[in-house]
Amino acid sequence: MKALRFLLRGKTAFFKQPDVNTYCYYTYGCIHKIALLGIFGAVMGFRGYNGQTKAETYPEFYEKLKSLKVSICPLNEKGYIPKKVQTFNNSVGYASKEEGGNLIVKEQWLENPKWEIAFLVDDPQSENLAERILESRFEFLPYLGKNDHTAVIENVEEVELEAETKRENLRVYGLFPANQGSLSENSVRRPLGREVPYKYQERLPVALEPACNQYVTQAMIDTNQRVSLTDAASVFRLEERHYVFF
């Protein structure tokens, strides 16, 4: 199976959690599939949420790319990306009814995030997307959740993956859905001198629901321990690494 793999990084990123309404806007701790499809939509020139018509169930980028199978591999230490709250003024005039029209905004940003991203190239749409990324031929500038956060795409390469039939005691590289796998029973705590085991888990958006285009979230796991996967997991192997595509 052919796939395209690349490094995605930035100085900062902000993937807003829409269910938080308080003094500070919070971010998901990792890029999620919908945000990634938004980046691909920018590459292709597809319309986003603002361009969605009343007759359309989904924004154009999601409608055309929702079947794309992706792999997201956090590269920050132990899968955790540092966060910091940023405070700034929004003084466009209509941002606030307060005197002076100034709104003080607090946002939680990811700092120096980086991921290895891959997607399967198995139809004309994904082939067109892969070709554009390989040629750095983007219709719009991609960003990491918000146009304050420019995305850097580099180290792009086509790779050939092999389907993996084995499901037990695998070392999975990157995120996988929690309902498609669990830590192996014989996963051993590190012997002296080996790497420290870790497990990162968070509910992340994986789809949009049709009525209001709200996020459908799912628990996702990133770990360096051995994993047993269900038959529902789409697993591929590249050399010694196993990737789950979702």
Q: What is the pLDDT of residues 122-159, one digit of tens each?
A: 999 999 999 999 999 999 999 999 999 999 999 999 99
> So what's the pLDDT on residue 192?
45
Q: What is the pLDDT of residues 161-183, one digit of tens each?
A: 999 999 999 999 999 999 999 98
Which of 65-79, 137-151, 183-197, 208-222 shows the lowest per-residue confidence on average (mean pLDDT)? 183-197
Residue 191 clears pLDDT 60, i.e. is over it: no
Mean pLDDT of 92-117: 79
Residue 190 clears pLDDT 90, i.e. is over it: no
More confident site: 55 or 95:
55
Residue 206 clears pLDDT 90, i.e. is over it: yes
Mean pLDDT of 230-235: 96
Going along the chain from its start, the domains and CATH numbers come out as: 2-163+232-245 (3.30.70.2660)
pTM exceeds 0.75, yes or no: yes
For the beta sheet containing 199-208, the strands, ordered from the edge strand earlier in sequence to the opposite edge, are 176-177, 215-223, 199-208
Mean pLDDT of 23-48: 96
